[in-house]
Every structure is written in structure tokens, then in C-alpha cells.
Amino acid sequence: MDKARTLQAALGELQNFKFFEGLAINEIAEICYGGRIIVNHHKQSLYVAGEAARGFGIVLSGAYKLSRPNPLGDETIVHFATPGDFVGLVIMSQLNSLYPVSSFAMGPSRFLEIPRTTFTEKWASRPDLIIKIQGLLSGRIHNLHVQKALTKAPLAAKIANLLLEILNKYEGNEAQLPVPLTRREIAENLGVSVEAVIRVMSDWSKLGIIETRDQQIRILKMDKIIQEINSSLLGG
């Protein structure tokens, strides 16, 4: 079966993610029982807010943005899910719940969707896995707290923090975000206007601090970016 072969290949991919380190391939196969690979192109939706939650899953490649409608009528991006990130985890602990956010591919992306029955049957009884999941959720809370602590900081600090946060999720010393990230998306994530984001990033481009090619952002002067985050101290 072609489908089976694809799934098999994906299971191998999972071994590269820290979460699955130390797990044997057949063990991974078991906890991914019933899983299917979903291949998306740019902007395609994985699911939308309000839909009944079929399951959760893991980003294999590319990236997905998770967004929730806000009271102003547009969308707020609450998370950028990169390879190895779990998506839909938040609602696995409740029965019969609805996805609280929508999910859209950023560039060509692949996702391994695992049915919720597999979660209740295979995951829920494995403390080691759930503890690890707890670690993932804790990490997300940590990031949200850091962002919260930056509320009063100037916009430049928030953008710098976001870029580094995303970049840190990738291995290696590459300073290029391997994902198409538009200025609008940054704005929707930080809860500010596109124009404001553009003004900050244009300045950075002129100063040679960053560079954008094909919506991929590359940081040229990492020290300057880091400086932005703490600059609030100095100014006064």
C-alpha cells in the first residue's frame, strides 16, 4: 500500500524529533496507530475553529499558524507550529470538544494526524508520554508568559523576541527562518497593525540587521536583534 509506505516513512521522521528520542520505531508505530499523513500547500487549512476535534497531530515539515477569531472581527495568531510541534493537544484531555483555533499551512507542509481514539487508548495510559506532553505545554506557557512580560516594551522588542522564539525552535546555527512569515502574520500574532511592523522591519533592513527574500527572514546581525529586546532598559 502506498499509504502505508508513506506512513512508515513518517514514523522514521518522528525519530528525529526530541519528543520521540529513545522510542523504538515499532513503539512509535503503536502510538501513531490510525495516523494519516496530511499534505498541505500554502494557506491550506488543517481544520477551522469550531470544528469537532478529530484528533491531534505532529507537524512533520513546513509550519502551521494557529489562529483564533478576536472580538475585533479578525484573527489573532496564537502560535506558530513548526516541525516536531504538537497541534490540537490542548483539547485531547476533554471529551468531544471542538477545536478552539484554526490552523493554516505556511508554505508546503506535512502533518501527521492521529485519531483521538489512539490518544485515549495508547497515550493516556502512558505516563512517560503524558509527562513529556506536560513539558511541551509548560514550554508554551513559558513563551506566552515571556510575551506577556514584554507587553509594555516597544514594538521592536516584541518583534525581535518573536523572531528569536521561532528561530530557537530549529536546530543548527542558521539565522534564517525556514518558513514564509509575512509582516501581516507577525502583526496578527503580536496584536499590532501591519504598518507598525513594517516600519520597524524596514528600519532594520536599511541598517542591514535583517534581510527578507521570498518572505523568508534572515537575521544578519544577531547581536543587534538581541539588543532590541533589552533596549528598554537603556533608553531612559
Partner DNA sequence: CGTAGCCTTGAAGGTGATCAATGTTTGTGG
Partner DNA sequence: CCACAAACATTGATCACCTTCAAGGCTACG
Site of interaction with its own copies (CB under 8 A): 68-73, 76, 78, 89-94, 100-101, 124-127, 130-135, 137-138, 140-142, 144-145, 147-153, 157, 190-192, 229-230, 232-233
Q: Which does 92 bind (CB under 5 to 8 A by kind): its own copies, DNA, none?
A: its own copies
Pick the closer one to DNA by CB: 90 or 105.
Answer: 105
CA gap 114, 181 in Å, rounded: 27
Q: Which of 186, 188, 138 is nearest to 161 (CA)?
A: 186
Q: Sign of torsion, CA 169 174 178 182?
A: positive
Least CB distance from residue 204 to DNA, whole Å? 10
Q: Return the axis-axis angle of helices 155-167 and 183-190, rounded to nearest 10°.
A: 110
| 51 touching DNA, by CB under 7 A | no
Q: Which does 22 bind (CB under 5 to 8 A by kind): its own copies, DNA, none?
A: none
| 39 touching DNA, by CB under 7 A | no
| 63 touching DNA, by CB under 7 A | no
C-alpha cell recorded at residue 47: 481544520
Residues across the chain: 236
Pick the closer one to DNA by CB: 110 or 183.
Answer: 183
Q: Which does 201 bind (CB under 5 to 8 A by kind): DNA, its own copies, none?
A: DNA
Least CB distance from residue 5 to its own copies, whole Å? 32
CA gap 73, 114 in Å, rounded: 31
Q: Cell numbers 513546513 label which residue?
A: 62
Q: Which does 230 bind (CB under 5 to 8 A by kind): its own copies, DNA, none?
A: its own copies
Least CB distance from residue 144 to DNA, whole Å? 19
CA gap 6, 19 in Å, rounded: 21
Residues 179-218 that bind DNA (CB under 7 A): 182-184, 191-196, 198-199, 201-202, 205, 212, 214-215
Q: Which of 182, 186, 38 is nearest to 108 (CA)?
A: 38
Please enumerate in sequence order all residues whose Cβ is within 8 A of that of 170, keeping only pairs 6 or more positions apart, or say none. 82, 178
Least CB distance from residue 194 to DNA, whole Å? 5
